[in-house]
C-alpha cells in the first residue's frame, strides 16, 4: 500500500500561529509585501521593459535580492528552479527535482526556498521575486482552507522571521 498521501505534516496545525487571527502576516505586516501585476493587455515589450527596470534598480542596491523562480512537471517529475542575484555577487542557480507533486506545490517550494536563502543574508532588507505564477504567490496570503496550507504555514513562518528582523524589510512579487 502506498502511504505517501497519508503523511501528517508537522508544520501544519489549524491553530498554528501563522494563520491565527492577530498573528497573521496580513494582520501585522500588510505594508511589507507587494504584488506588481503585469497588465496582460500590454505588449511583451512593455513587460520586458518593466522587468529590465526592476533588475537594474535592484542590482544597484546592496540590500536587495532579486529572485526568479519557475517550476514545471514533465513525466511526473517536478523541477523547481530559482535564480538569486544580490549586489556584486554572481547569480546563484538552484534546481530541485521531485515526484508526485503538483505544479503549484513545486512553485510554492521554489518561492519558499528562495525566501529562505535571501533572508539568510544579513544585509538583505528587500526581496523581489519574479514568477510567472503570481496566482500561486497570492495563495501564500490566502488563509482560506485549501490543500496547500502546509506549504503556506512554512512560507509564512519564513516571512514572519524576515519581517521581524528589521522594520523596513519587505518582499515584492
Q: What is the 3-state secondary structure (H, E, C) of the chain?
A: CCCHHHCCCCCCCCCCHHHCCCCCHHHHCCCCEECCCCCCCCCHHHHHHHHHHHHHHHHCCCCEEEEEEEEEEECCEEEEEEEEEECCCCCEEEEEEEECCCHHHHHHHHHHHHHHHHHCCCCCCEEEEEECCHHHHHHCCCCCCCCCHHHHHHHHHHHHHHHHHCCCCEEEC
> How much is the pLDDT for 16?
54
Q: Quickly name the fold that domain 17-23+62-173 has.
A: Nucleotidyltransferase; domain 5 (3.30.420)
Per-domain boundaries in the chain: 17-23+62-173
Confidence of residue 43 (pLDDT cuts 50, 70, 90): low
Residue with cell 500561529: 17
Query: Using one digit for the tens of pLDDT, what is the confidence trace for 81-109?
Result: 899 988 888 889 999 898 988 888 888 88
Residue with cell 523562480: 69
pTM of the model: 0.74
Distance CA 4, CA 137 (A): 25
More confident residue, 16 or 9: 16
Q: Is the pLDDT of residue 17 over 60?
A: no
Amino acid at each position: 500500500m502506498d502511504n505517501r498521501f497519508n503523511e501528517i505534516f508537522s508544520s501544519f496545525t489549524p491553530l498554528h500561529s501563522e494563520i491565527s487571527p492577530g498573528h497573521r502576516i496580513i494582520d501585522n505586516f500588510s505594508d511589507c509585501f507587494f504584488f506588481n501585476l503585469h497588465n496582460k493587455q500590454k505588449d511583451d515589450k512593455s513587460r520586458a521593459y518593466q522587468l529590465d527596470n526592476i533588475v537594474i534598480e535592484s542590482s544597484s542596491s546592496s540590500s536587495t535580492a532579486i529572485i526568479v523562480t519557475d517550476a514545471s512537471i514533465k513525466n511526473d517529475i517536478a523541477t523547481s528552479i530559482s535564480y538569486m542575484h544580490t549586489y556584486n555577487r554572481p547569480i546563484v542557480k538552484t534546481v530541485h527535482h521531485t515526484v508526485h507533486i503538483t505544479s503549484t506545490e513545486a512553485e510554492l517550494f521554489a518561492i519558499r526556498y528562495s525566501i529562505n536563502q535571501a533572508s539568510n543574508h544579513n544585509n538583505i532588507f528587500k526581496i523581489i521575486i519574479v514568477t510567472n505564477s503570481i496566482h500561486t504567490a497570492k495563495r501564500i496570503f490566502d488563509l482560506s482552507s485549501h490543500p496547500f496550507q502546509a506549504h503556506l504555514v512554512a512560507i509564512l513562518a519564513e516571512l514572519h522571521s524576515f519581517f521581524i528582523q528589521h522594520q523596513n524589510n519587505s518582499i515584492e512579487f
